[in-house]
């Protein structure tokens, strides 16, 4: 499955989002991780001759499409909020905004 964001980058977003009480980007990141796990699980099952390969391939195909959509969603969120997408650092203005609301 093609991945636009690596696990380290996604973890950085989750960590910062949780520190500054900005849960939405973290929720998208967690969904991406869950989709990757589901895809890997299906790929492991697909080779098992005791299982119906068509079922696992169908789930894997849908998961791959959902994963691509959620990565595009994350990219757009980071763009809208002004994250540094090279280092995956939350912008200072957003940190201040979320800290104020606490």
* CA distance readout (Å), 26 to 32, 33, 54, 57: 10, 11, 33, 28
**pLDDT computed for residue 92 by the predictor:** 83
Total-model pTM = 0.84
**pLDDT computed for residue 62 by the predictor:** 98
Q: How far apart are CA 58 and CA 29, in angstroms?
A: 23
**pLDDT computed for residue 96 by the predictor:** 67
What does the pLDDT average to over 18-25? Answer: 78
Residue 79 has pLDDT above 50, yes or no: yes
**pLDDT computed for residue 38 by the predictor:** 98
> Contact, 91 vs 81, CB < 8 A?
yes
Q: How far apart are CA 36 and CA 12, in angstroms?
A: 17
Tokens of 44: 């492991």
- Average pLDDT taken over every residue of the chain: 88
Per-residue pLDDT of 35-67, as tens digits, reads 999 999 999 988 777 778 999 999 999 999 999
């Amino acid at each position: 499955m093609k991945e636009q964001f690596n696990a380290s980058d996604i973890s950085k977003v989750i960590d910062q989002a949780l520190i500054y009480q900005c849960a939405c980007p973290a929720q998208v990141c967690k969904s991406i991780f869950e989709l990757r796990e589901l895809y890997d699980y299906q790929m492991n099952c697909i080779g098992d001759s005791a299982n119906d390969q068509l079922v696992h391939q169908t789930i894997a195909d849908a998961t791959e499409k959902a994963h691509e959509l959620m990565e595009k969603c994350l990219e757009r969120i980071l763009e809208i909020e002004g994250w540094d997408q090279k280092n995956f650092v939350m912008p200072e203005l957003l940190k201040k905004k979320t800290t104020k609301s606490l």
